[in-house]
Structure 1
Amino acid sequence: MNAPEFPDEVVTRALVRYLDLPGLAGEFALITLDNGHDHTRPSTFGPAGLRSLDEALDQIAARSPKVGAVGVTGKPFIFAAGADISGIGLVTERAQALVMAQEGHRVFARFRNLDVPSFAFVNGAALGGGLELALHCDYRTVSSSAAAIAFPECFLGLVPGWGGTQLLPNLIGADKAVRVIIENALNQNKMLTPKQATDFGIADVLLDSADFLAESLRWAVRVIDGSKPVERPEIDRGAGWDSALAKGKAAADARLHGSAPAPYRALELIELARTASFADGTAAEDEALADLIMSDELRSGLYAFDLVNKRAKRPAGAPDKSLARKVTKVGVVGAGLMAGQLALLFARRLEVPVVLTDLDQGRLDKGVGYVHGEIGSLLAKGRISQDKANRLTALVTGSLTKDAFADADFVIEAVFEELSIKKAVFAELEQHLSPEAILATNTSSLSITEMAAELRHPERVVGFHFFNPVAVLPLLEIVRGAKTDDASLATAFAVAKTLKKSAVLVSDAPAFVVNRLLTRFLGEVTAAVDEGTPIEVADRALAPLGLPMPPFVLLALVGPAVALHVAETMHAAFPDRYPVSENLRRLVEANKPGVYVWDSGSPEVDPEVAELFVLGDRPSGEEQVRDRALAALAEEIDLMLADGVVAEPQDIDLCMLLGSGWPFHLGGVTPYLDRQGISEKVRGNRFLPPGIASVAHA
């Protein structure tokens, strides 16, 4: 069977030129990978791209014995970003997937089997199959400006299946290979820097980017003539290999709890690489790829990847960006921890003056001091220069009076989550600001419309809800009040983009998206405990989903008082679906930070909490708790979509992926509920059409 063609493939061409280099007997055949686009669209390998590379090697073979060495590099800033995943949805049979895997292996292996030395000149990003192509070459140089070097496959639901699991551990050892293939991929797809890639032994030499290709060619000639020997480390195939595999499994278990197959298949392949021939190892890669390509986990990962990389960049319902006003100064009301995080982010990204204000000099000094201290930490870590640190420090100041905001274009409040307090803050601000200055609120649950109701200019009030920690979580819920105008909303989206946040437009509904769903979802777990389910049982119930942390560990992170406040807010809005746990109230009244103590290094139920809680006599099992929580989630999403809280289910999924850490391998909330049959059970039909985030069979 033939693999399917990808009709929308942006074909990567392999362009060959022949160079006469001083000191080299014969020509140097240099292949340049180029898909005809700039660096914003990386070169990838679909069926046509692999054919072009195959034909280039045919052309080189036809010139033998004139060719003395072969090299491969990429277009400016990009080496290659691996397989073209955009066509995966066209693969409807396992046999097709197997052919795709085998064809990649066949073409790439031609570099390993050349009769002359082969070189990869990694001039830019090398991801997945791009990095595997480099590994098939005998030698590798890397540019100091290469932006990203990684194997992201396990992050998406695949394995490095064109030789990566066999070549990398035998080049740099199992420990480093596990770090790159498993740990980095599961750690939010962490990339290697060029220096790290060189230190690891993936690249043989790190060269300056200014004249990278010329220096790479000169280095290659010295390697060929023997004046620059390349040494490779001896690989430990004994206890060190076992230790690496154990560490990789522990990392996968900690992140996924066995809920996705890809990293575990990758570990099996790395184990095989210890003793298997390359032919046997790559044949096993073929089988693994064929299985995973036909898995719902991969389709889910690709769906999530598409949301984060495409939909997030074009927010549904956002007004025309030409309506946005320029922001030249920012005000932050409050000087607590959240306000300090906001001030630092605005100063770093917008590079405009940022003024904080608070009720007394002590709080104000502490808030401004926090921001200045964080700037100093960035300098100490080498993440910014001394000049940049000086400029950022000068941009962030404090004032006890609101008239310091008179020339501000964008003012955000980060005060206590109480509607009356926020309304009073906005009423005072309106006395000092121009009518067009944006009034933004970081509220997590309160009504934007009510907050703006008594203002002279309610049209310039927007919700601008960040997630904590601000510097880490990429989601920004932008909330439109009943009277918010398009210009204010467009300005909010423009600011979000400059802040490098992924913004989703949300209507003014209680708790918006993430907090509303998490409160409902986790509220069912708490309710099960109130009914008599042991805390440990309820906390384990969601483990098969591979969530970042169990519910009651999350409770400790958020804080019981905050959780209670949100629960009460939601109960006021939807009393039938959002009960308030009296045990949670007892926890807050007792000033307990959570239900666990960590004296032994692992969580154990606090005996005082066990004594404090009043439990019912209707305990549930783990599966019952999980089914209950997921059914509640499906019901709430259905209601939110009916009420127009967001435009489409995809926006729900995007919010949960970026704001709550919903696992990528589940593809978002709605496809998971669809695959599990919960959507149809609760609402009578799926949230998404068949084939989206799941396998659509021919």
Structure 2
Amino acid sequence: MSTPSPTTSAAPRPERIAHAFVRDVALPGDAGTLALVTVDNGLDHTKPTTLGPAGLAELHTALLTQQRRALAGEIVAVGVTGKPYYLAAGADLTAVTAISTEVDARRVAEAGHTTYRLLGEMGVPTFAYVNGAALGGGLELALSCTYRTVGADVSALALPEAFLGLVPGWGGCYLLPHLVGVRRALEVILTRPLGGNRMTKAAEALELGMVDAVFHPADFLEQSLAWTADVLAGRVVPVRREIESQEEWDAVVAGARAQLDQRLHGAKTAPYRALELVAAARTADRDSAFAAEDDALTELVMSDQLRAGLYAFDLTSRRARTPAGAPPAELARPVRSVGIVGAGLMAGQLAVLVARRLRVPVVMRDIDDARVAAGLAGIRSQVERQAAKGRMSPDEANRVLASISVSTDLSTLAGADLVIEAVTEVLALKQRVFAELEGVIADDAVLATNTSALSVTAMSANLRHPERVVGIHFFNPVAQMPLIEVVRTASSTDTAVATAFALAKQLGKTAVGVADRPGFVVNRLLLRLLAEVAAAVEGGTPVRAADVALRPLGLPMGPFALIQLVGLPVALHVLNTLHDELGERYPRSPGLERLATQGRRLVPEPDGHGAELEVDPAIQDAFDGPADAAPLDQAGVLDAVLVGLTEEIGLMLDEGVVDSPDQIDLCMILGANWPLHLGGISPYLDRTGYSERVLGRRLLPRGVADVPAAG
């Protein structure tokens, strides 16, 4: 039986209250009249609705009117929905960054509660019809209602505040754990935001208990209204989960705190504040819980960590879409086939990514049959793993494998529009590969290198056509890391560079243009960091002290775990290359050389339970400190690292490696997982005083990534 379409009653006309359209709907089966509030900021459908102070005030007015009507018996329920594709994307973060006083910050915090709690105090049941993305305050709007339905195609439900440097402070830290229990609430409030800002899909939301029903998008509103009538009539009784006992609640919170400590070591404030609010939610009443959320939001809105996080989020989400310094896109050469020289691990990852995203033939070449066979086996294993995890359909897996070929014959690369060399990081070898390729590929084909630190200029110096050479530096693992450094030499043409930028875009990556200077951006700074740590250990600092010294930064791993991940021989190779190119700022490390020769690990093997990888104290014997050693304490190591990074950034800007410090921040966030709450690296060095101390100037204008001056 088909569900009747909603009809508007003859009495009240649809009313526009800026952010809220209100109309009356006659529910099916003579169940009564529902006031349907549609949240809409009046922008086109591609731009999500956000709620700033004015929008909240307008929504508040609309809901107050419905509350009066409910008390007068004019309506039996209130529904809230959004414009196509969006319920709401939460608070207007642009407005948040303009707040400069605690009074204004608290006003915004309280406005959310004052407005949203009307949905829980309406006098009649309230229903959220989640027809699209509901993020942050948008999801809290739905949580404030008595019941919730969601479209089956909705894939972006989230409370991402901890990711940005806030807490779900318009009711989320209280309402969600009371709805789904503390364990599931912390999954949404902490685990998913801090694990790459993962979204929750409609089916997952139903399983978690965040919503009560999922309906097909084609007639979502009609089905939701029919379901509403059934709920009001008692024919449907939505299930409510039983929350955990106080003992279990406390145990879950303690476990979550231990995980935060292991991951962040107290470096990021917002997740801990969110956890405190959730911990207190079980016994708190609504008034005290909302007051505590107001306190937390006020504190965090006025924090430099939030401003830095929003600056970093803007860098990686908006500004990254228009790369600085990229030539006009129309200059890019069409790429109908790609050649890759080498068939090792990195080359295989490149081949699969290119075959998947560009959907063009990929021709690989290596020097002997054994390497060819190993390369093919690695590619097949990689594709099969992705298919087994559901990241690739069987048909797509077969297509990818069919589009990649590996051979020992260099001439198979002759028809490629773009050839990427991905052989061992030895300059003479790369020069030889380039020379061989020039005799095979077309004169207008673009030739690229995936070098991580070597000079692209030196690599192409003896070619007949050095102008078609460009660096395209991918990061490992290729599929996951979002950054590509596009390296331009003095000879590189706009066509070659534009082709590299176009490739990055087609691969779903963010490209940053960099000059051909040693280490480019990410490796130059990471190796300066590691060089300072290694120098401290060579000078007598215990490896354990040096390893934990950087924890106040909240980096994803310690320096020795990073070296182990990269591979000690690779890290030493890059360190020695930078030593040769840039001098004693990158000192050699005899201790690390000994460990590499002995084939020893720097950190123990992972235990499979997510335990943090800390340096193995046993490697201390590889470092022979001088007789007059002056070991540093942890604060001293951190200071040496930050002084070194500040100095290096100043030199990189003087050399024109990039045009501005925000490009360095973008590289470090996307290529080195530099924490968002630091804003990359420049805001942190500014607000801790290192920029002024070392360079005599700030890197960013005041107010760009910190709290603006009041007034």
For 1:72, the equivalent position in structure 2 comes to 80
For 1:575, the equivalent position in structure 2 comes to 583
SS in 1 for 2:218: coil
Correspondence list, 1:264-279, <5 A: 264-279=272-287
Deviations 1:62-120 (A, max 9, x none): 65533222211122222211101111222111111011100111111111111222111
Match of 2:663 among 651, 666, 676: 651
Match of 2:674 among 650, 662, 677: 662
Is 1:52 matched up with 2:64?
Answer: no
For 1:121, the equivalent position in structure 2 comes to 129
For 2:468, the equivalent position in structure 1 comes to 460
Deviations 1:474-508 (A, max 9, x none): 11111101111111111111110111111101000
**How many Å separate the matches in 1 of 2:223 and 2:476?**
45
Structure 1 residue 332, shift from structure 2 partner: 1.4
**How many Å separate the matches in 1 of 2:530 and 2:210?**
44
For 1:5, the equivalent position in structure 2 comes to none
For 2:26, the equivalent position in structure 1 comes to 20
Segment of structure 1 superposing worse, 429-438 or 658-667 = 429-438
For 2:190, the equivalent position in structure 1 comes to 182
Structure 1 residue 138, shift from structure 2 partner: 0.8
For 1:412, the equivalent position in structure 2 comes to 420
Instruction: Check the 8 A contact 1:597/1:605 in 2, yes or no.
Output: no
For 2:698, the equivalent position in structure 1 comes to 686
SS in 1 for 2:76: strand
Instruction: Check the 8 A contact 1:83/1:129 in 2, yes or no.
Output: yes
Is 1:610 matched up with 2:620?
Answer: yes
For 1:529, the equivalent position in structure 2 comes to 537
**How many Å separate the matches in 2 of 1:254 and 1:389?**
37
Match of 2:653 among 614, 617, 641: 641
**How many Å separate the matches in 1 of 2:35 and 2:424?**
66
Segment of structure 1 superposing worse, 666-675 or 236-245 = 236-245
Instruction: Check the 8 A contact 2:67/2:118 in 1, yes or no.
Output: no
Instruction: Check the 8 A contact 1:174/1:240 in 2, yes or no.
Output: no
**How many Å separate the matches in 1 of 2:19 and 2:543?**
58
Segment of structure 1 superposing worse, 438-447 or 228-237 = 228-237
Segment of structure 1 superposing worse, 386-395 or 172-181 = 386-395
For 1:29, the equivalent position in structure 2 comes to 35
Segment of structure 1 superposing worse, 538-547 or 322-331 = 322-331
**How many Å separate the matches in 2 of 1:598 and 1:415?**
29
**How many Å separate the matches in 2 of 1:298 and 1:509?**
33
Is 1:94 matched up with 2:102?
Answer: yes
Structure 1 residue 602, shift from structure 2 partner: 7.0
**How many Å separate the matches in 2 of 1:190 and 1:184?**
5
**How many Å separate the matches in 1 of 2:486 and 2:453?**
12
Instruction: Check the 8 A contact 1:12/1:43 in 2, yes or no.
Output: no
For 2:324, the equivalent position in structure 1 comes to 316
Is 1:439 matched up with 2:447?
Answer: yes
Structure 1 residue 596, shift from structure 2 partner: 5.1
SS in 2 for 1:510: coil
Structure 1 residue 15, shift from structure 2 partner: 1.5
Structure 1 residues 489 and 292, CA gap change in structure 2 (3 angstroms): same
Structure 1 residue 39, shift from structure 2 partner: 5.1
Overall identity of the aligned pairs, in %? 52
Correspondence list, 1:590-601, <5 A: 590-594=598-602
- TM-score w.r.t. the length of structure 2 is 0.94
**How many Å separate the matches in 2 of 1:159 and 1:621?**
34
> Where do 5+ consecutive residues of structure 1 fail to align?
1-10
Structure 1 residue 12, shift from structure 2 partner: 7.1
Structure 1 residues 268 and 607, CA gap change in structure 2 (3 angstroms): closer
Structure 1 residues 405 and 234, CA gap change in structure 2 (3 angstroms): same
Structure 1 residues 12 and 203, CA gap change in structure 2 (3 angstroms): farther
Q: 1:611 is aligned with what amino acid?
A: D
Instruction: Check the 8 A contact 2:31/2:229 in 1, yes or no.
Output: no
Q: 1:404 is aligned with what amino acid?
A: T
Segment of structure 1 superposing worse, 292-301 or 586-595 = 586-595
For 1:373, the equivalent position in structure 2 comes to 381
Structure 1 residues 436 and 17, CA gap change in structure 2 (3 angstroms): farther
SS in 2 for 1:23: helix
For 1:168, the equivalent position in structure 2 comes to 176
SS in 2 for 1:121: strand
SS in 2 for 1:18: strand
Instruction: Check the 8 A contact 1:27/1:67 in 2, yes or no.
Output: yes
Structure 1 residue 237, shift from structure 2 partner: 3.1
- TM-score w.r.t. the length of structure 1 is 0.95
Q: 2:144 is aligned with what amino acid?
A: H
**How many Å separate the matches in 2 of 1:38 and 1:469?**
38
**How many Å separate the matches in 2 of 1:386 and 1:213?**
35
Structure 1 residue 535, shift from structure 2 partner: 0.4
**How many Å separate the matches in 1 of 2:475 and 2:490?**
23
Structure 1 residues 505 and 280, CA gap change in structure 2 (3 angstroms): same
Instruction: Check the 8 A contact 1:186/1:252 in 2, yes or no.
Output: no
Deviations 1:318-376 (A, max 9, x none): 11112112211111111111011111111111111112211122221222232233222
Structure 1 residue 146, shift from structure 2 partner: 1.1
Structure 1 residue 402, shift from structure 2 partner: 2.1
**How many Å separate the matches in 2 of 1:507 and 1:501?**
19
Q: What CA RMSD, in Å, does the superposition of the two structures yield over aligned residues?
A: 1.8
Instruction: Check the 8 A contact 1:598/1:604 in 2, yes or no.
Output: no
Structure 1 residues 271 and 106, CA gap change in structure 2 (3 angstroms): same
Match of 2:158 among 138, 145, 150: 150
**How many Å separate the matches in 2 of 1:219 and 1:247?**
39
Structure 1 residues 31 and 484, CA gap change in structure 2 (3 angstroms): same
Correspondence list, 1:46-445, <5 A: 46-61=52-67, 63-64=69-70, 65-445=73-453
Structure 1 residues 13 and 608, CA gap change in structure 2 (3 angstroms): closer
Structure 1 residue 310, shift from structure 2 partner: 1.5
Q: How many residues of Structure 1 are paired with residues of Structure 2 in the alignment?
A: 688
Instruction: Check the 8 A contact 2:79/2:127 in 1, yes or no.
Output: yes
> Where do 5+ consecutive residues of structure 2 fail to align?
1-16
Structure 1 residues 408 and 602, CA gap change in structure 2 (3 angstroms): closer
Structure 1 residues 550 and 397, CA gap change in structure 2 (3 angstroms): same
Is 1:627 matched up with 2:639?
Answer: yes
Structure 1 residue 247, shift from structure 2 partner: 2.0
Structure 1 residue 38, shift from structure 2 partner: 4.4
Instruction: Check the 8 A contact 1:12/1:44 in 2, yes or no.
Output: no
Segment of structure 1 superposing worse, 396-405 or 153-162 = 396-405
